Amino acid sequence: MKDRRTERDTHRLRLRMFGATPARAVIGLEAEFNLFINGRRRRPEKVFGDPSRLVRRRMIPRTGKSFQLPAGGAIYFDTGVIEVTTPIVELEPGCCYRATRLLWEQIRYLRRELDHWERQHGCKCRLQGFSAHYNLSFPSSRKSKLRNATKLAYLLAHVLPVPVILLATNRQSSAVGVRPRGNRIEVTVDFTPDPALMLATCAFIAGAMETVLRWEDFGLRRFERHALPRIARFHLQKHSSRRGWRVTPDSLGRNPFTSDINESLWKLRDGRRLSLRAIAAETLRPFRQRIRQIGDSSTLEHIAAVFAGDARSLLDFEKRPDAYDDVGHSIDWGRRRMRRWPQSKYEKVIHRVIAHEPMRIGQKRYVVDRMNGWYQVEFREVGTKRRRTFNLDDLARLADAKKRSHLKAKVKGGSASPKTMSKIRRRRRTVSTTR
């Protein structure tokens, strides 16, 4: 278990990570893993020292003791576990797929570095899934007296547990948590070794939160107004590490992780008795539209199928699947077809930063020095060595301006292709329409 001092240090690191965030809503995922070497659990700090001694390529340093992975996310050692995180992703259609894909790209990169390390040292390394954190920002523009992060987290701690239990937990799980983190909400649950179920979990959490953010207030009376089911015996527990709440077997008077998810064991406040699957299906109804908007119809269908019993939940297995104990060697999205969403603007900027591409503004050239959280990048001017900080929106605007000037130069030079001309005409039509 993590001691209190280390928990405080990690808390400060994560606050800095999301400290300077854009005005628009963003999402980010984290995953923690236990490290086993030759069948014995080891602390990564003792084995490697820090991530720069595990990853072969030179990494950009970040705030605290973390480093920017060449795959786009970050890595750090957190008191006995290896943690990888995604960059922030704009909350827009496709964001849940992008965030899930990005997390698995970090896992795959980490796994390849471990493969190289174990070949060099003649041993066997494996990653055991420990936990996953789903982070969604809470834009200040949506705050008021009746609508703040604490009230939102408290309401979501009543809304999310049953659906998340069906989508993301296993027979050995013990809790689902929701924590207010200042400018974001964090949902904590076991790591899910199935990418399709992780995508479904991410989409449900994001869709539910985006729906709730549009309600007039975050009081529990909203359950009745939106016909959400409430289990009769439901007592939130304090989170084990920081501010926030957890739903455990003690919260419900019965263990939902070991009970039959198809049996009507759970008494509701309206007197009915329903199964966990039926409760989750009813909880899904008010959130379907937003889940479809920020995800897609295929993800929504997968969520509904799990709740209806037409698709597997990990709770359908008698024991925890073996995939938890060796993560990253094979990554299987399943037979469900996933729409291939392109990279977001932030993701493109992050990859340019990681590639150490120099940036020119006017007559000055800058090179990347370090990442300051997830939203800001510190550059150093070539020659004078003076530092300058840009955020991701600044860098995205600079990239767009450079692209536009390049297209104009092509047109003036008479070398523009029909495809380029088509893009220019569409942009001109868009500008004239907005005017």
Phi-psi region of 366 (alpha: psi -120 to 50; beta: other; left: phi over 0): beta
Which pLDDT score, from 0 to 100, does residue 374 have? 84
147 pLDDT higher than 90: no
Which of helix, strand or coil describes residue 390? strand
CA atoms within 13 A on the CB side of 415: 5
Q: What is the pLDDT of residue 135?
A: 96
By CB atoms closer than 10 A (0-12, 13-18, 19+), residue 128 is middle
Taken in order 208, 335, 198, 319, the sign of the CA dihedral is positive
Tell me the whole-structure pTM to 2 decimals. Answer: 0.86
Q: Is 420 exposed, middle or buried (0-12, 13-18, 19+ CB in 10 A)?
A: middle
> 89: part of which helix (H) or strand (E)?
strand 89-90
Residue among 204, 203, 208, 177 nearest 190 (CA) = 177
Question: Structure tokens of 374?
Answer: 């997830």
- Indicate the Cα dihedral angle 95, 299, 227, 162, nearest 10°: -90
Residue type, 327: V
**Start-to-end Cα distance in the chain:** 59
Phi-psi region of 127 (alpha: psi -120 to 50; beta: other; left: phi over 0): beta
435 against 378, higher pLDDT: 378
User: Residues 337-348: what's their mean pLDDT?
Assistant: 80
Closest CA to 199 of 83, 318, 323, 341: 341
- H-helix segments, 188-340: 195-212, 222-225, 249-252, 276-284, 288-294, 297-308
Q: What is the pLDDT of residue 243?
A: 87
Average confidence (pLDDT) over 45-55: 95
- 155 pLDDT higher than 80: yes
What number is the average pLDDT over the span 241-247? 87
- Provide the pLDDT confidence category of residue 8 given band limits of 50, 70 and 90: very low
Whose tokens are 């493969």? That residue is 115
Least confident of 1-10, 239-248, 322-331: 1-10
Task: Give the residue with greater pLDDT, 22 vs 68.
Answer: 68
Report d(CA 234, CA 162) in Å as an integer: 11
Q: What is the pLDDT of residue 171?
A: 97
If you search the block for the tokens 């493109």, which residue do you land on?
348
- Confidence (pLDDT) at 372: 87
Number of CB atoms found within 10 A of residue 221's CB: 8
Residue pair 112/210 in contact by the 8 Å Cβ criterion: no
Token pair of 375, please? Answer: 């939203």
Q: Grade residue 6 by pLDDT with cuts at 50, 70 and 90.
A: very low
Whole-angstrom distance, CA of residue 134 vs CA of residue 179: 10
Pairing of strands 237-238, 184-190: unpaired
> Rounded mean pLDDT of the chain?
87
Phi, psi of 238 (to 5 degrees): -65, 145
pLDDT tier for residue 433 given thresholds of 50, 70 and 90: very low
- CA 101 – CA 199 distance, rounded (Å): 9
Band (429; pLDDT cuts 50, 70, 90): low
Determine the 3-state secondary structure of 282 from DSSP.
helix
Least confident of 157-171, 332-346, 387-401: 332-346
How far does Cα 337 stand from its chain's mean position? 21
Between 58-72, 378-392, 418-432, the lowest mean confidence (pLDDT) is in: 418-432
* φ/ψ of residue 289, rounded to 5: -60, -45
Give me the mean pLDDT over the 203-211 stretch: 97
pLDDT digits (tens, 9 = 90+) for 252-302: 999 999 999 999 999 999 999 999 999 999 999 999 999 999 988 999 999
- How far apart (Å, rounded) are the C-alpha atoms in residues 348 and 97? 16
Q: What pLDDT score was predicted for residue 334?
A: 65
Percent of the chain with pLDDT over 90: 66
Mean pLDDT of 4-27: 57
**Sign of the torsion angle spanned by Cα atoms 215, 216, 220, 225:** negative
CA–CA dist 191, 198 (Å, integer): 8
Position with higher pLDDT, 133 vs 433 = 133
CA distance 394 to 315: 45
> How confident is the model over 373-388, as pLDDT tens digits?
888 999 999 988 899 9
